[in-house]
Amino acid sequence: MSQSLFYRLVSCQLRFLQTPTRTFSSTLSIRAAAKRNATMATIATKTGQVVERFVLESLLRRRLFYFPSFEVYGGVSGLYDYGPPGCALQANIVDLWRKHFVLEEDMLEVDTTMLTPHEVLKTSGHVDKFADWMCKDPKTGEIFRADHLVEEVLEARLKGDKEARGQKVEVDQEKEAKKKKVKDTKAVKLDDAVVTEYEELLAKIDNYDGDELGQLIVKYDIRNPKTDGNLLPPVPFNLMFQTTIGPSSNTPGYLRPETAQGQFLAFQKLLEFNQQQMPFASAAIGKSFRNEISPRAGLLRVREFLMAEIEHFVDPEGGKKHHRFEEVKNMELSLLDRSIQLSGSTRTEKMTIGKAVSTGLVDNETLGYFLARIQRFLLKLGIDQSKLRFRQHMANEMAHYATDCWDAELQTSYGWIECVGCADRSCGDLTVHRNRTGAPLCVRESRAEPLQIEEWQINLDKKKFGPRFKKDGKTVEAAIDALSQDLREKLALDLEKDGRIEINIEGVSTGKVELEKGLIKIEKRTRVEHTREYTPHVIEPSFGIGRILYSLIEHVYWSRPDDEARGILSFPPAVAPTKVLLVPLSNHESFGPLVQRVMMKLRRAGISNRVDDSSASIGKRYSRNDELGTPFGITVDFQSVKDNTFTLRDRDTTKQVRASEDEILKAIKLLVDGEETWEDVRKRLPEFTGQEVD
């Protein structure tokens, strides 16, 4: 980065952060941070430049994509507001998501409440298990997220090892600034085996539970980085925001941590709406909340965020086939399976989804189909395919009832970030809610051919049974009904042989009951089933919209080699916050009516646009809007007044064409709808080279 660029960046950042309470020392710290970030190595842009996160985030805040919430009050970590371009970008991502999934897959969209009663989340397991592990310094009361602390301390030691070996150390200052204050790491050379051990451990850090993290803290003598004090063992911290529902505060509840539970509870109504047809999918888009222990990494770890989730309900008996799998089976994905991760490596393998399913690497066709559809959606948004991979969950990352799970991870300057999770959740969610409430969260369908079933059936003489067991009668009867077929067969033989049987039953004072012939009869009989009842399995793709939004920005960000001071966001037209910039050559009175006419025609066609009639040169006006990601620009000049022709500029190439108003508007519509590319337009319309440039 050139020195002049460096000072321009510092100046921009100081203007943005300037408040009445800003001090001289904070100014120096910003300047120092800028110098450190000038040499920070991160990922490369599409043109091979290094993504300077300090520069990019300055642009995003200056252009009001997003900013800290309640900033005039000092802000609250993990909470952000979106400005006009951020809102438009998010809305366009959601709109494309709806078209790609809800519309194309004929899904049933629902909007369920964010307030959720305690009982629902107790049943789903969130109350007991939705937690991160935190450890506390008993002397200072300081709280640490255990996995982050282990990660930071071991990374600091590896950094010290590199320094001791005389190797160049590349530091992510943004990440460093968000860590707890750590004493300067001494340059201490580690044994090669220890370096390997640390690196393998860091590759698997997300997979350790509380006990394992506690063992790592003891094994590697990890302490409070600031005071060097010992820490208490990790304990779970529930991530849900608790509240009460109603004025009496007698109904405890939570802000939902996901949209999924509302969809599961609506299953029976949706099945009826879908005329009892299986398979089908529901979809929901809405806010979720997680009370993160230590929010960091900007939009990537926040306490309130937008999710888009799909619950695809499928009959498990058919092998979870998908009728559209043939369309995607040859699509190639970069896969990081769990066996590679267990070896301590992060090497991906490119493989068609058809092969991944046929070899059993991906559990079934429906899961594989959605992985392919997720990739196609992300590429439509403008995600760089070379920075996209699918990582398989380790066994201890999944719920006990899940069969397989893959995360779509995007590479950013923060590392690889999970942005989409896609799991086969089996029938666990519907089953626990059905068992708790008795609601018919299942599918009943007529059999094509009646099914004859031989089974051991039990009959009780109710006239004798009631007086015998009195208040324990329901408990005993329920336990008898729950007996397995194998046990019923054994009891039938014992009853025939001895005339009586003994059954162990929890909930009665003796712990067992004795039943004789005449009170109970166990016989093998044949029954005919005309209907089939089953609990469907669920494939769940879950999208973190904020994470996708930020990762997309990094992937489309770049700058021209001859003008590094001005960033460019190359959003595809479909998701760009504003599609067209209207630029009158000057404030001449003859330009106004033309600008207004073109503006209204574009808006009636559903194409967002804005007018920049400032006194800056055309080149500067276009550059300002390149930072906002506006893909196209229309210039109104004196030639436009004469013959109603206009120039159309492309953001990425800066090339221009000139044509009549109707031809220009038609070209923009085709470009925004994705039916033509800029190269198609250049072939059709005459090139224009006489426009002023800055």
CATH class of 3-130+239-432: alpha beta
DSSP annotation string for 226-254: TT----PPPEEEE-SEEEEESTT--EEEE
- State how far the Cα of 349 lies from the Cα of 382, in Å rounded to an integer: 22
How much is the pLDDT for 170?
62
How much is the pLDDT for 185?
61
Q: Which of 250, 251, 241, 240 is nearest to 117 (CA)?
A: 251
Mutual angle of helices 545-556 and 365-381, in 10-degree steps: 50
Domain 131-238, what fold?
Herpes Virus-1 (3.30.40)
How much is the pLDDT for 25?
29
Q: Using DSSP bridges, classify how beta strands 304-314 and 537-544 pair: parallel, antiparallel or unpaired.
A: antiparallel
- State how far the Cα of 416 lies from the Cα of 408, in Å rounded to an integer: 10
Q: For the chain, list residues with pLDDT below 50.
A: 1-41, 173-174, 177-178, 180-181, 692-694
Is residue 660 helix, strand or coil? strand
166-184: b (≥16 Cβ within 10 Å) or e: eeeeeebbbbbebbeeeee
Which CATH number describes the domain made up of 578-688?
3.40.50.800
Comma-separated ranges of CATH 3.30.720.200 domains in the chain: 443-534
Instruction: In the chain, count H helices and then E strands.
Output: 26, 29
- State how far the Cα of 361 lies from the Cα of 381, in Å rounded to an integer: 27
- State how far the Cα of 308 lies from the Cα of 627, in Å rounded to an integer: 27
Enumerate long-range contacts of 658-667, CB under 8 Å, 24 or more apart.
658/685, 658/686, 658/687, 658/688, 659/685, 659/686, 661/598, 664/634, 665/598, 665/601, 665/602, 665/605
Amino acid at site 278: M
- State how far the Cα of 434 lies from the Cα of 419, in Å rounded to an integer: 31
In sequence order, the β-bridge partners of residue 515 are: 501
Comma-separated ranges of CATH 3.30.930.10 domains in the chain: 3-130+239-432
Q: Which of 383, 368, 281 is nearest to 329 (CA)?
A: 368
Q: What single-letter DSSP state applies at residue 614?
A: -
518-532: b (≥16 Cβ within 10 Å) or e: ebbebeeeeeeeeee
In sequence order, the β-bridge partners of residue 67 are: 81
Cβ count within 10 A of residue 554: 23
How much is the pLDDT for 48?
81
Q: Which of 432, 435, 410, 434 is nearest to 421 (CA)?
A: 410
Cβ count within 10 A of residue 597: 13
Q: What single-letter DSSP state applies at residue 186?
A: P
Q: Token pair of 495, please?
A: 């009853």
Comma-separated ranges of CATH 3.40.50.800 domains in the chain: 578-688
Comma-separated ranges of CATH 3.30.40.230 domains in the chain: 131-238
How much is the pLDDT for 183?
55
In sequence order, the β-bridge partners of residue 502 are: 514
How much is the pLDDT for 683?
95
Give the CA dihedral 324, 330, 333, 337, nearest 10 degrees: 80
Domain 443-534, what fold?
3.30.720
